[in-house]
Structure 1
Amino acid sequence: MTDSERPSEPAGEDDQLRAEINEVGRRASRTVELGGRALVIAVAVFVLLVGLVLPWMNGSSGLEVLIGHETGKASMVPRLFSLTSALFGVVTSALALITRRWVLAWAGAAGGWFASVDGLLAIWSRQSSGNTPGIGLIIAVVAMVAISIQWFRTAASRT
């Protein structure tokens, strides 16, 4: 059957189909496919939450450091880590897992690495001030590094 023998479709249906296909393409370009990484990220966020409730410094948990219960010059870096880990590790990760938005995956990756470096500095600052970091701080840093790695792999895998 040649083009001239085919029944003609109304031009409106063609345009509507083309617009629908373009919209699907735009929607797909804004999302990432998480696959098995979603479970790894969710478990790492849970481990981070566990780390936030365990002792970080002088018997204070990460949540107490976050709200300012632990004050002093030596607590500023751990406090910044508690804030960035809660913001990027928990909130941004949850939003990115729910919405699967590419931009949130990159925010989780970049913010997660900032929080990871800050966490390492928090451990170092505790050790350099003659105190030992609590187990919760160490667990939170390890979880934050895992979250960051997974978000970078996810964001970078977008084609």
Structure 2
Amino acid sequence: MAEFAEYEGDLRKAERKVAGEIDPGARAVVVAVAVLVAILSLILPHTGTASGIDVLTFSPDAVAERVTITSKVFVYLLVIFGIGASVLALLTRRWIVAWIALCGSAVSCVAGMLAWWSRNTPGVGGVEPPSGVGIGLILGWLAALVLTFHWARVVWARSTYHLALEEERRKEAAAREDVLRSLQHKPEQTTDTDD
């Protein structure tokens, strides 16, 4: 027991380091492909002649196509979380970064659906957008859906692992306490001499 206690601090540090990491396995390839599709969606037409980059930079093409705020929000979320946070999570393999990528990608899914809806709905005063949904918006939204699904699986697997690790740590601590208690409260042996 004393030998284990000597290394307990080092083991806890190593455990915390491992607990904060992810191992996406084969999902890393799917996430990488989804990130590439998200990047491709920025080059392709988002709506009419306006590409995702035009929406991102508020170019004259985006203004001419009357791109709404929902499209702008979607493209920004896709770039920040779908591309940026996902790449960072794959490179660092940190659980917290994967969790951030998951949350941002989930919000971008909603924003993408609203962006799609806004391209097919008349605006204020019945003014309709000059053009509908482009292939860039469709691919970007699908990439966000795929990223959300796969990051959720990776993050959930780590959460389950953390819970199992904590349970194991509690069991070890309880066993150690039992051993220490039994050593400290050993019943004193008394000898009864009745003559």
Using the size of structure 1 for normalisation, the TM-score is 0.87
Contact 2:108 2:144 in 1 (8 A): yes
Does residue 46 of structure 1 match 2:21? no
Distance in 2 (alpha carbons) for counterparts of 1:89 and 1:44: 9
Cα deviation 1:66-123 (Å, max 9, x = unaligned) = 1111237642111111100000000000111011111111111111010011001001
Does residue 122 of structure 1 match 2:122? no
Which residue pairs with 1:6 in the alignment? none
Which residue pairs with 1:146 in the alignment? 146
Does residue 82 of structure 1 match 2:75? yes
Distance in 2 (alpha carbons) for counterparts of 1:74 and 1:62: 10
CA drift of 1:20 comes to 2.1
Which residue pairs with 1:107 in the alignment? 100
Distance in 2 (alpha carbons) for counterparts of 1:144 and 1:151: 10
Distance in 2 (alpha carbons) for counterparts of 1:44 and 1:133: 20
**Percent identity among equivalent residues?**
32
Q: Which moved more, 1:19-28 or 1:140-149?
A: 19-28
Q: Which moved more, 1:126-135 or 1:24-33?
A: 126-135
CA drift of 1:150 comes to 0.5
Letter aligned with residue 150 of structure 1: H
Does residue 33 of structure 1 match 2:23? yes
What count of residue pairs does the alignment treat as equivalent? 149
Mark the structure with the bigger radius of gyration: 2
Letter aligned with residue 65 of structure 1: V
Where relative contact order (Cα < 8 A, 6+ residues apart) is larger, the structure is: 1
CA drift of 1:22 comes to 1.4
